[in-house]
């Protein structure tokens, strides 16, 4: 019985640490990968623990964690799409420059009857 209480205490402290890591995010996509990396480590630690039913406090904390993590993922996806659009624009500009600098030569046919 005491072992289960110790386990729940350890699991709850990991959830609190996850929440703290998410709270440390400054809202920019640049810092998102670092937060995600830290979260992966903590998630791995939680997965190593024995499974027992969640307490009400743990459920509430996990809901908060989920909301915060969802915001990070949304910001990262928007940034990813913006970068993809910039890359497409750069590729288009590159093609325009190449066509201007290296214009396509039209084939010349020689009329041999002349």
Contacts of 108-111 with C-beta under 8 Å, sequence gap 24+, read none
As a whole number of Å, the CA-based R_g of the chain is: 28
Tell whether the model's pLDDT for residue 47 goes beyond 70.
Answer: yes
- Element of type H or E holding 33: helix 32-48
Tell me what percent of the residues of the chain surpass a pLDDT of 70. Answer: 75
Q: Which pLDDT tens digit goes with each residue over 34-43?
A: 999 999 999 9
Tell me what percent of the residues of the chain surpass a pLDDT of 90. Answer: 46
pTM of the model: 0.68
Between these two residues, 17 and 95, which has the higher pLDDT value?
A: 17
Rounded distance between C-alpha atoms, residue 89 and residue 91, angstroms:
5
């Amino acid at each position: 019985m005491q072992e289960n209480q110790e386990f729940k205490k350890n699991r709850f402290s990991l959830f609190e640490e996850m929440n703290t890591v998410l709270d440390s995010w400054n809202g920019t996509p640049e810092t998102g990968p670092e937060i995600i990396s830290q979260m992966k480590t903590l998630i791995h630690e939680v997965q190593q623990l024995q499974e027992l039913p969640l307490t009400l406090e743990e459920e509430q904390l996990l809901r908060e964690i989920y909301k915060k993590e969802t915001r990070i993922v949304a910001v990262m996806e928007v940034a990813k799409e913006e970068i993809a659009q910039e890359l497409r624009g750069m590729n288009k500009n590159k093609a325009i420059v190449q066509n201007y600098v290296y214009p396509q030569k039209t084939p010349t046919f020689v009329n041999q009857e002349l």
